[in-house]
Each structure stands twice: as structure tokens, then as C-alpha cells.
A and B are shown apart, each in its own frame.
Chain A
Amino acid sequence: MQILGLYNYWIFIVLMMCGFYVVISRGNLVKKLVGLNIFQTSVFILYISMGKIAGGTAPILTGMATIYSNPVPHVLILTAIVVGIATTALGLALVVRIHEAYGTIEEDEIHAQSEDEAL
């Protein structure tokens, strides 16, 4: 039961591997970014899981509750989410520019064109 009890960590691992696999295996630049995004998102779950305390409420001082979740991982991950957005936006912007320059967003076709240039 202990293994099932840690299910959010399993989700983290599965998501992380899915995202990582997509980044490595796909040749389409947008799909790569999607994979990268899933990969980053999985880490958010890791951090949020570690901040959770069983029975804890949101860490707002109301005087009613005594057990709070740890707010620090949430703050950290808020920063990481912003970083993730910036990365995705920048990545997509690059893909737009690459599409304008090469006329394709398939990695092998871009590679073929670059090879021709080098020769």
C-alpha cells in the first residue's frame, strides 16, 4: 500500500518520462516543445507534492486551523511556472522564425537544407 500511497510521485515519474521521450523522439519542433512542457510540468507536481501535509489547509493565518501545508514549494514552483512560460514563448517564437527561414518545422528537412548550405 505504501507504493500506492505515493501515487503523486508515480505520476511525476510517468509524466516526466513521457515528456522526455517526446522531446527526444519527435522531429517536429512544436511537438518537441510540447514534450518539453510536459517534462517541466511534471516537476511542478513533484514540488507541490512535497509541500502537502496530510490534513493541512492553505497557509493563511485565520486562527482557525493549526496544520498548514508548506507554502515554500508553492512559491518556488510559481517561479518555475513563469520560467516555463517564458521558455515556451521563446521556443515558439524561434519556431515561427525557423518556419519563416526554412519553410518547414520538421527537424530532418531543416537538417537536409543546412547540409546543402554547408556544401
Chain B
Amino acid sequence: MQQYSVPRLITKLLLPLILLFALYVQFHGDFGPGGGFQAGVIFAAGFVLYALVYGLDNARRIMPPWLLRVGVSLGVLIYAGVGVAGMLLGGAFLDYGVLDSHDPVHGQHLGILLVELGVGITVASVMISIFYAFAGRGR
């Protein structure tokens, strides 16, 4: 891809927008369509685009496999951790209402935000890991 300047330039222009859009979908999921699954996939897609144009080695420098390994596990742990936190605060598993002692609605906002964050981290990490696993094979 070294000699093709048009895809490289366009990727450079689009990449921040794609990643930003992923974050928008992630954090606006409370109020509109969106959420962790979609955001994670969009984020990973932006990253895959970068890896396609700039090469797998560059991509691996930015997002090393050990980080993905942490990301995959961390997301699940955030999700389960929120659930257990609800349990420790006297509610049921994944009961967001008890997360804020003053207003259950605040607690629900906080809970869904954290859970979707966990989902987003895991989904993005898993998608990039899958890409690495296939692209790194047979080189």
C-alpha cells in the first residue's frame, strides 16, 4: 500500500471520524439508537481499515495483542462487576436502581453506561483479535 497515496490520505481523514462516531454511538446509547455492540464493531471496523491500509505491523504497534487480551477480559469483568455491585448494594444481580443511593434513575443511567462500556470494550477487542488472528495467519 506504500505507493497508493489516495487510500492512505482518505484513511487518515476518515479514521478520526469513524472512531469518534463509534464513541458517539457508545455514549449516546442511553438516549437514542446505539450501544456497546454497535459501537464496538464500528470502532473495530475503523481499526481494521487502518490495518488494511497501513499494514498489520503498524496496527500491532498501536494495539498490541496483550492489550486486546486484557480488553476482552476487562469488558466481561466490568459487566459482571456492575451486576455484582448491584447485588452487594442490596438489589438483585444487574439491578441498576440501587447503584445511586439518592435516585434510582441516576443509578440506572450509571449502570447501563458501565455495562454498555464493558460490552463495547469486549466487542471491539474481540473483533480486532479475530482480524489479527486471520490476517496474521500464513504470512
Contacts and interface: CB of A to CB of B under 8 A. Distances in A.
Interface stretch (B10-18, B71-79, B97-105, B129-137): B129-137
Contacts of B31: 60
Contact of B130 (A60, A81, A89, A100): A89
Interface string B33-67: 10001000000000000000000000000000000
Contacts, number: 16
Interface string A93-106: 10010001000000
Interface in B82-135: 123, 130, 133-134
A60 B31 CA distance: 8
Of the four ranges (under 10, 10 to 19, 20 to 34, 35 or more), the interface on chain B belongs to: 10 to 19
Of the four ranges (under 10, 10 to 19, 20 to 34, 35 or more), the interface on chain A belongs to: 10 to 19
A116 to B, nearest CB: 25
B33 A58 contact: yes
Contact of A82 (B33, B37, B133, B137): B37
A96 B133 CA distance: 10
Interface of B: 31-33, 37, 123, 130, 133-134, 137-138
16 contacts: A58-B33, A60-B31, A60-B32, A60-B33, A78-B37, A81-B37, A82-B37, A82-B123, A89-B130, A92-B134, A93-B133, A93-B134, A96-B134, A96-B137, A96-B138, A100-B138
